[in-house]
Amino acid sequence: MLSNIVKWTAGAALLLAAFTAAFHLQAPKAEAAAAFSDVEEEYWASGSIQRLSEKGILGGYSDGTFAPGEEINRGQAASMLVRVFDLNMEEQPESTFEDLNAGSYFTPAAEAVKEAGLMGGRENNTLFSPDMNLSREQMASILVRAFGLQARGGGQTAIADIEDASQTHRANIDILAGHGITATPDQRFHPREPVTRAQFAVFLERAQADEYTKEQGLTGVSIVDDETIDVQFEQTPEDMEAGQFSFDPAVNVSQAETVGRNTVRLTVEPMEHDQAYSLLYQGTWTGMTVETAPEPVVEDVMASDLKQVTVRFNTNVSGMNLTDPEAYRLATTGGSTIAVESVQAQGDTVTLNLNEARPQGDTAVLQLSAPVVPESETYNLVFFDETL
């Protein structure tokens, strides 16, 4: 297991060397990835590219681009792994590969990853082939070796195209899937296709996150309601503080409270609906994500009896911030306020309990406002009790 040979330090300021002799990288700044002209914020891999850039593991071209769709070759991958694991790399080592010599650009990285057991040579370990594109199945085996990943679940995972992979790589592809490092909607891995820079960044960060969460004893994260998140540990560390937890996109964490021996309960500012929030622990991305429910839509409003008004939504609203009495203004058709004693949420329904029963057949107007609805909505009501 590589962790016995080298240790990856999550916060180390590492600078990735040039990917090829003609590929000069900028010294990355904290905001470097955000400035890549060809990586928009909405790009699927932008989060991984930005975080790895901030750590100094990734950089871009001297013209400010990152070239996320460009394919990575074996030499480039070796250079990246050297920086990720802080491997000892001699300046001009003697080459053990026939296609490299002491003066070759990739010789130091090739010898370093070979010594660490991350990457071997081809043709009975005689050729390194630094300019050969790295395939996705080869990447799977490299990451499994590098991070010492073990099989999970006691069986093979549902990779739809696993038969397309070389026999020597199949088990490692399954291991990646078992750790959640590879996951696609159609369960296809495309093992023979070359790896792009964006793909390598995402796979690498997921593998780092898997190792980090294991080291920290993190086991899960879940939403309690839109202002509360639970983080699960194998056993909660002592002296938990709100500042140790953060999210991407940013959401303020005001309190961290230990609940039992396995859970830390976070109090956060109200989260946006239909949004995925990635957890960072002690400033390091964990790969764990929570997703809030879609924004609720009012489907029906009615006076269920003479003392109750129900507002039914299209989704379960029990854990949402929808019980603020100020968001529900109930008045007579003449404009006089009707007092509401309490507001309760259960399932897909919010119930307004009135201070006093209304007369049979009485009419009223209910005005809903934020945070219940994005824009003010008005509903006409008739109070009626069939039991009378």
What would the pLDDT profile of 292-331 be if each residue is shown by its tens digit? Answer: 988 899 999 999 999 999 999 998 998 888 999 999 999 9
Residue type, 205: E
Instruction: Please give the chain's pLDDT, 388 residues, in tens.
Output: 333 333 333 333 233 333 333 333 333 333 445 668 999 988 999 989 988 888 888 878 889 999 999 999 999 899 889 989 999 888 888 899 999 998 899 999 999 999 999 998 888 888 999 999 999 999 999 999 999 999 886 556 689 999 999 999 999 999 999 988 987 778 899 999 999 999 999 999 999 999 999 999 999 999 998 899 999 999 988 888 999 999 999 999 999 999 988 999 999 998 988 899 999 999 999 999 999 988 899 999 999 999 999 999 998 998 888 999 999 999 999 999 999 999 999 999 999 999 999 999 999 999 999 889 989 999 999 999 877 6
Residue type, 11: G
Q: What's the Cα-to-Cα distance from 25 to each of 59, 87, 262, rounded to whole Å?
A: 6, 19, 43
Give backbone dihedrals phi and psi of 115, rounded to 5 degrees, phi first: -60, -35
**Signed CA dihedral, 338, 339, 342, 343: sign only:** positive
pLDDT at 5: 34
78 within 8 A of 109, measured Cβ to Cβ: yes
3-state secondary structure the chain: CHHHCCCCCCCCCCCCCCCECCECECCCCCCCHHHCCCCCCCCCCHHHHHHHHHCCCCCCECCCCCCCCCECEHHHHHHHHHHHHCCCCCCCCCCCCCCCCCCCCCHHHHHHHHHHCCCCCECCCCECCCCCECEHHHHHHHHHHHHCCCCCCCCCCCCCCHHHCCHHHHHHHHHHHHCCCCCCCCCCCCCCCECEHHHHHHHHHHHHHHHHHHHHCEEEEEEEECCEEEEEECCCCCCCCHHHEEEECCCCEEEEEEECCCEEEEEECCCCCCCEEEEEECCEEEEEEEECCCCCCEEEEEEEECCEEEEEECCCCCCCCCCCHHHEEEEECCCCECCEEEEEEECCEEEEEECCCCCCCCEEEEEECCCCCCCCEEEEEECCCCCC
pTM of the full predicted structure?
0.72
Question: Distance between CA atoms of 223 and 226, rounded to whole angstroms?
Answer: 7
pLDDT at 264: 96
Output 180-185 pairs: Cβ under 8 A, ≥24 positions apart: 180/206, 180/210, 180/287, 181/143, 181/149, 181/206, 181/207, 181/210, 182/140
Angle between helices 46-54 and 197-216 (to 10 degrees): 70
1, HSE (Cβ side, Cα atoms, 13 Å): 9
Give backbone dihedrals phi and psi of 154, rounded to 5 degrees, phi first: 75, 10
pLDDT at 23: 31
Structural domains present in the chain: 2-134+194-213 (no CATH), 217-291 (2.60.40.1220), 298-382 (2.60.40.1130)
**Signed CA dihedral, 191, 193, 195, 198: sign only:** negative
Q: Which has the closest alpha carbon to 201: 64, 88, 55, 87?
A: 55
